[in-house]
Amino acid sequence: MPTLVLASQSASRRRLLESAGLKPTIMVSNVDEETDFFNAMTPEDMVIALAITKAHTVREQVNYPAIIIGCDSTFEFEGQSLGKPGTAHVAKERAQRVRGKSGYLHTGHCVIDTEQEREISDRITTKVTFTDMTDAEIDDYIESGEPLHVAGGFTLDGFSSPFIPSIEGDYTNVVGISMPFLRSAMTQLGYSWPEVKLMK
Ligand SMILES: Nc1nc2c(ncn2[C@@H]2O[C@H](COP(=O)(O)OP(=O)(O)OP(=O)(O)O)[C@@H](O)[C@H]2O)c(=O)[nH]1
């Protein structure tokens, strides 16, 4: 049975897998995401390219049978890719732009089977709609520090959940990994979901 490797530092992604009964080994890719090469792409292409780069970077470090999962998420708003805000100022500016409007959370996925030397990659998109947060609510949310390090500067399952009245599409995709996509990719690679849960 191959080892299940999550090529990500993301605690949110790890929690998604573990909450579904999976036992991932964590191997961080440390891929530099802020390069002109990736930033020149459309949001949809960038997340796929980065997911593939992350998975292949970790693949180079693995010399045993493994299923390696690489992901990248970004929030597309009015055609622009809004990644992790990084600072409170950027997070506030973004929250004031998106309130009362919708955008698209894109997550690129790459699943590599090292034994079969096969890989399945795809991008899943979820439409996210925000309520009209007040400035006081935005300031309080940013004070939590949570938005600074998540794609788009919001968390569907965290402090900003009161501000997201609706999504169209896959919930887990917003958090960081589309679990229905992962099941589909594993099926294409020849593994049943109960078998995936035995991988570690
Ligand atoms: N819990 C939660 N996390 C979110 C949400 N939206 C985005 N994220 C996280 O925001 C981060 C997006 O940044 P990425 O560059 O894709 O991933 P990362 O955290 O840098 O980790 P790597 O995979 O190692 O690059 C991921 O950790 C996502 O899990 C959300 O609604 N809820």
* Average per-residue pLDDT for the chain: 96
Residue 168 has pLDDT above 90, yes or no: yes
* pLDDT given at position 200: 87
Distance 12 CA to ligand 1 centre (A): 7
Q: What is the C-alpha separation between 34 and 18, in angstroms, rounded?
A: 29
Position in ligand 1 atom list of the atom nearest CA 176: 29
Query: Ligand 1: which residue has its CA nearest to atom 25?
Result: 8
* pLDDT given at position 192: 97
Between 74 and 34, residue with greater pLDDT: 74
* pLDDT given at position 78: 95
CATH of the domain at 45: 3.90.950.10
pTM: 0.96
Residue 35 has pLDDT above 90, yes or no: no
What confidence tens digit (pLDDT) does each residue in 61-100 have?
999 999 999 999 999 999 999 989 999 999 999 999 999 9
Confidence of residue 169 (pLDDT cuts 50, 70, 90): very high
* pLDDT given at position 98: 96
ipTM: 0.97
Position in ligand 1 atom list of the atom nearest CA 33: 15
Pocket of ligand 1 (CB under 6 A): 8-10, 12-13, 28-29, 33, 54, 71-73, 84, 150-151, 155-158, 174-176
Distance 62 CA to ligand 1 centre (A): 23
Total domains in the chain come to 1
The 3-state secondary structure of the chain, one letter per residue? CCEEEECCCCHHHHHHHHHCCCCCEECCCCCCCCCHHHHCCCHHHHHHHHHHHHHHHHHCCCCCCEEEEEEEEEEEECCEEECCCCCHHHHHHHHHHHCCCEEEEEEEEEEEECCCCEEEEEEEEEEEECCCCCHHHHHHHHHCCHHHHCHHHCCCCCCCHHHCCEEECCHHHHHCCCHHHHHHHHHHCCCCHHHHHHCC
What confidence tens digit (pLDDT) does each residue in 104-119 have?
999 999 999 999 999 9
Task: Of 13-22, 31-40, 84-93, 153-162, give the lowest mean pLDDT range.
Answer: 31-40
Confidence of residue 131 (pLDDT cuts 50, 70, 90): very high
Which range of residues forms the domain containing residue 101? 3-196
72 flagged as catalytic:
yes
* pLDDT given at position 164: 98
Residue 34 has pLDDT above 90, yes or no: no
